């Protein structure tokens, strides 16, 4: 299974990353960690690609913000989502017109259609048949699912605002080891590559950011633990982008050398 970190509207980078992953592995399945949208230039293209190709994804906090903005009347006075990359997302839904600097109006019908799709994204995805050597089954969520997993059979509680906020927004300083699962998450950008640990992996490597140590889109092949990286090409232009296929040991050595 190929699990890909936070995309944030960087569609061209996603396509470039997929090009370096063997087709045989992509055929086993692709799952996204949420935050498909905002900040980058092509959020609309990513959502449409997911729909067209039946790509599995979990809900991210940025999808939640977009849905709330749409639900609450699309007011431009509501600056919260707009200031978190929402303006760039709206730009991606504007009609292309024959002008070098201007775009047309937002395609609201398409925007609404995509909101309906995003509203169906689950809080987590579990894959009982995808298990590593320690017997840990794959669970993908946007942020860590540690506080929710003990309530996994309680549908009402899992849909509560408290649980949703934890799984979509939390950034715990310590993460509980749940022996039965391997939790692959995004949400918190990691410097100099993904954070790989025994019970979890955080594969948000700050694709949108151009700061040193970030600006990378990461995919993790589970359970083989092969890492694929591609430098952002949506925001960065004029240079040859870096790309790599790594083992966990390669990644640890690189992180050690960067300190």
**Distance between CA 109 and CA 74 in Å, rounded?**
13
Model confidence, pTM: 0.94
**Distance between CA 39 and CA 8 in Å, rounded?**
6
- Average pLDDT, rounded, for the chain: 93
Domains of the chain: 2-258 (3.60.21.10)
Q: Which two tokens stand for residue 47?
A: 């959502």
pLDDT at 20 exceeding the cut of 80: yes
**Distance between CA 101 and CA 79 in Å, rounded?**
24
Backbone CA torsion sign across 7, 81, 211, 214: negative
Q: pLDDT tens-digit profile of 213-248?
A: 999 999 999 999 999 999 999 986 656 889 999 999
Q: What was the pLDDT predicted at 92?
A: 95
**Distance between CA 145 and CA 167 in Å, rounded?**
6
Q: What was the pLDDT predicted at 98?
A: 64
Torsion angle, alpha carbons of 124, 129, 130, 134, to 10: 110
**Distance between CA 25 and CA 161 in Å, rounded?**
36
DSSP single-letter state for residue 198 = S
Q: What was the pLDDT predicted at 240?
A: 82
**pLDDT range class, residue 104, cuts 50, 70, 90:** confident
CA angle (65, 118, 186) in 5-degree steps:
65
H/E/C letters for each residue in 70-119? HHCCCCCCCHHHHHHHHHHHHHHCEEECCCCCCEEEECHHHHHHHHHHHC
pLDDT at 22 exceeding the cut of 80: yes
Q: At what angle do helices 108-118 and 43-53 cross, to 10 degrees?
A: 60
**pLDDT range class, residue 150, cuts 50, 70, 90:** confident
Average pLDDT over residues 144-168: 88
Task: Produce one character per residue of 176-214: b if its CB has 16 or more CB atoms within 10 Å, e if not.
Answer: eebeebbbbbbbbbbebbbbbeebbbbbbbbbbbeeeeb
């Amino acid at each position: 299974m190929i699990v890909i970190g936070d995309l944030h509207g960087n569609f061209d980078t996603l396509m470039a990353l997929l090009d370096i992953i063997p087709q045989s592995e992509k055929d086993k399945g692709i799952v996204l960690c949420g935050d498909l949208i905002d900040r980058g230039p092509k959020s609309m293209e990513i959502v449409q690609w997911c729909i067209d190709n039946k790509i599995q994804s979990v809900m991210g906090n940025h999808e939640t913000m977009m849905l709330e903005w749409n639900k609450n009347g699309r007011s431009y006075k509501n600056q919260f989502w707009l200031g978190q990359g929402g303006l760039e997302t709206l730009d991606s839904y504007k009609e292309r017109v024959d002008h070098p600097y201007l775009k047309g109006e937002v395609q609201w019908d398409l925007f609404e259609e995509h909101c309906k799709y995003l509203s169906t994204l689950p809080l987590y995805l579990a894959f009982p048949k995808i298990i590593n050597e320690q017997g840990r089954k794959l669970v993908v969520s946007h942020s860590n699912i540690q506080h929710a997993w003990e309530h996994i059979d309680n549908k009402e509680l899992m849909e509560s605002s408290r649980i949703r906020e934890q799984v979509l927004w939390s950034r715990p300083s310590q993460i509980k080891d749940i022996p039965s699962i391997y939790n692959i998450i995004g949400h918190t950008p990691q410097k100099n590559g993904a954070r790989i640990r025994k019970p979890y992996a955080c594969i948000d490597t700050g694709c949108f950011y151009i700061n040193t140590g970030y600006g990378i889109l990461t995919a993790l092949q589970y359970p083989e633990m092969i890492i694929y990286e591609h430098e952002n090409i949506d925001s960065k232009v004029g240079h040859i982008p870096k790309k790599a296929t790594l083992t966990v040991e390669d990644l640890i050595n690189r992180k050690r050398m960067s300190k």
